[in-house]
Amino acid sequence: MIKSFARPIAWLLLAAILYVTISPIQARPVTHQPVSVERLVAFGLLGLAFVIGYPRRWLLAACFVIGLAFVFEAAQLLAATRHARFDDALVKAIGAAIGVTIGVTINRLSLLRH
């Protein structure tokens, strides 16, 4: 049941993160948190959602989400008001890896209960 809920959430998160990443800086939501925390949490949730949504393909999901961190950051080169930085991509990738790790742990623990 949770898998069928996590899949659309994962794709919606991906779309939202892409929009926030490449939209003009003025359109970026303000959370009053450090931007590194925002990046880490956003990609952590993305990694978690993809791994929960696609538990049998967790390694592919991990590569996909971690790769997206770098692709999305590079996409900022296309936006006039944005800039791409390797450090930002690295924070996003670390967040994705943390989310993936939590997702894999949740999936394995749920298998133990069955």
Domain that holds residue 76: 2-22+33-113
Q: Total domain count for the chain?
A: 1
Tokens 């931007």 correspond to: 35
Residue 27 within any structural domain of the chain: no
Q: Which two tokens stand for residue 104?
A: 């894999």
- Give the C-alpha distances (Å, rounded to integers) separating 69 from 5, 11, 48, 52, 95: 23, 15, 14, 19, 9
* Buried b or exposed e, range 20-34, using 16+ CB within 10 angstroms: ebbeeeeeeeeeeee
Residue 28 within any structural domain of the chain: no
Residue 72 within any structural domain of the chain: yes
Residue 104 within any structural domain of the chain: yes
Residue 92 within any structural domain of the chain: yes
Model confidence over 1-36: pLDDT tens digits? Answer: 788 899 999 999 999 999 998 888 777 788 889 999
CA dihedral 99→65→20→74, nearest 10 degrees, is 130
Model confidence over 26-71: pLDDT tens digits? Answer: 777 888 899 999 999 999 999 999 999 999 999 999 999 999 999 9
pLDDT value for 78 = 84
